[in-house]
Structure 1
């Protein structure tokens, strides 16, 4: 009797997205066990690849192209995904990600880090496009941000107005926050009828030592001397906008979490929400074997990351689960997995694995198929 294999990895950050990783694992598994029914449910936590994951995992999902203003002001060809109607969203759900509209990946390789100038206007433009389509609900992924401007670019694209002391619109990006004197959110587009869910596994507040500028600013090019100025700009915004800067996740995506709270959105843990939206629990319960993975599985991976969530669902359903990772560190607890495969070990080095991740994911899929064929 054919087995059902569910393949549900996260992206292997910086090397390959979740959808492509799932496809490569499936190719290797099918090479060894062609009679198995392999189902792909690529996962995400709100960062890069969230749109791709939904497009691959949800039947009848439609990719909707849109051209937006990128984080440096140049046009960017992006897309959002329209999920089919459901009882919770009778006119469908729009899935929009910050990464492919305003993300740090759009600033080149290596990224041209622009601590004060990058912005989220394009993210807001893609959200506006989904609203114009008439969706009943929005799901927004806000990982992989390039900016530290509190979501002001996004809110401006949705109808808000941010002005300086003379009443003129402020500049895009964190640079504009230094001159911010007034915020008018009365023109914001209304939320869709079934609300806005924001996927984020970041719980940082907007301001202070754990805030957006101090914790994430250096990743976006902020020098130590810049942190205070960035934080002060975000504080000016917080003083003018009716949202809680201390709320968990307000500091996510350079403060975009705060901007979304001001709009009325709800921030939720990313991986668990994606799992629910794509029906992962039912798929796992019906599976013979589950395969999950991420780029680096280490001592922190058990705290809310995709493999841990998938593993918990599999354990609850008494279904064996296997782990694939670019590397598995010595401090990682892999005791809950029936089998593991490290791309670094298969390729001989982390450099070789990262140069051709699809090849080594295919090999990992084949290795795991052989391992479970012997059980």
Structure 2
């Protein structure tokens, strides 16, 4: 009997690899002689670096870079087992977690540190970079990232712009002559779960700006600045990035990467599925276990459990897909059906505080997997 165990992390609690190990420990008490294939997963957001490093026997590297508020932060990125592919989460350098409600300021927050992480990855000799877009504190259209990579953003007097989205209103010219030459030989794959354009009512500023501290007046200012940035980008590069689906991801970082690098946008779960060889490793599976910290109707829009179900059903159509989740939210009925998820179980063993639930994660996940395993054995 073959079990494929391919969960995401339980955010704030356990990594995907730890959850996979807990599921296996429970199942082996029921099926000690089964074949187990553990594939830690992610959907392009938090945990993607760890998942792909674990899946490919890669390594992680730390670097001190500029945080979104301009202060130094220590961030990690991964080098995959092939030695030529890096994986970066922009939130590691420019994420909202580096701010508080009192310090958030999308007018000045910068992606400069993300550019520094890209440069550090290039210094490792990589020529393929997977970059997760999400969790940003920024709304600068990737301007800071570009500046860190040698691209000069100049005002009418030929002075370098200050960092942050608001400063883009003063952009007169983009000087590409100093751009890091390695960018021309590097392929970027951008992991994004959103399809928002850079500007407009569904753009980066209007939709995501408020959660980063933007008032209605700031939203208008930032949207106008990003529209101007896009116009100057088109003059400098010939690329029209303003309305590209996904360009608004991570405060418009998607647009900056599309403008200044050889980049393409993909769903994060599809990238992880490909690099972990999930489909190939799931062939012949009898059962598939996946999971995440919380599941609800939004899981159908590119989250790990739904992506795992779609991928494994393509190669093992008769293998039930079973989800273990820390919390089951509303609307999960849309996740059930042919080529989708077969069953969802909540992991907490009774009512408890969040802190206690986090502390009990390993034992609760293992115990639930054992009980589900006993049900499967009885069914057989």
Task: State the TM-score, normalizing by the size of structure 2.
Answer: 0.87
1:317-355 C-alpha deviation (Å, 9 max, x unpaired): 1222111122223421253434321135x3426746754
Structure 2: distance between partners of 1:217 and 1:286: 46
Matched residue of 2:179: which SS? Answer: coil
- 1:80 aligned onto 2:77: yes
Matched residue of 2:345: which SS? Answer: strand
Give the corresponding residue for 2:7. Answer: 9
Map residues 108-127 of structure 1 onto 2, 5 A cutoff: 112-127=103-118
Q: Call closer, same or farther: CA 1:187–1:28 in 2, change over 3 Å.
A: farther
Q: Call closer, same or farther: CA 1:106–1:235 in 2, change over 3 Å.
A: same
Q: 1:300 aligns with which of 298, 301, 319?
A: 298
Q: Call closer, same or farther: CA 1:221–1:330 in 2, change over 3 Å.
A: closer
Q: Do the aligned residues in 2 keep the contact of 1:4 with 1:37 (CA within 8 Å)? A: yes
Structure 2: distance between partners of 1:70 and 1:22: 32
Give the corresponding residue for 1:172. Answer: 163
- 1:257 aligned onto 2:254: yes
Q: Do the aligned residues in 1 keep the contact of 2:43 with 2:302 (CA within 8 Å)? A: no
Matched residue of 1:96: which SS? Answer: strand
Give the corresponding residue for 1:270. Answer: 268
Map residues 117-196 of structure 1 onto 2, 5 A cutoff: 117-189=108-180, 190-191=182-183, 193=185, 195-196=187-188
Gaps of 5+ in 1: 86-90
Give the corresponding residue for 2:203. Answer: 211
Task: State the TM-score, normalizing by the size of structure 1.
Answer: 0.88
Structure 1: distance between partners of 2:357 and 2:68: 27
RMSD of aligned residue pairs (Cα, Å): 2.4
Map residues 32-43 of structure 1 onto 2, 5 A cutoff: 32-43=30-41
Map residues 94-109 of structure 1 onto 2, 5 A cutoff: 94-107=86-99
1:170 shift after superposition: 1.7
Q: Call closer, same or farther: CA 1:350–1:218 in 2, change over 3 Å.
A: farther
Give the corresponding residue for 1:88. Answer: none
Paired residues, number: 365
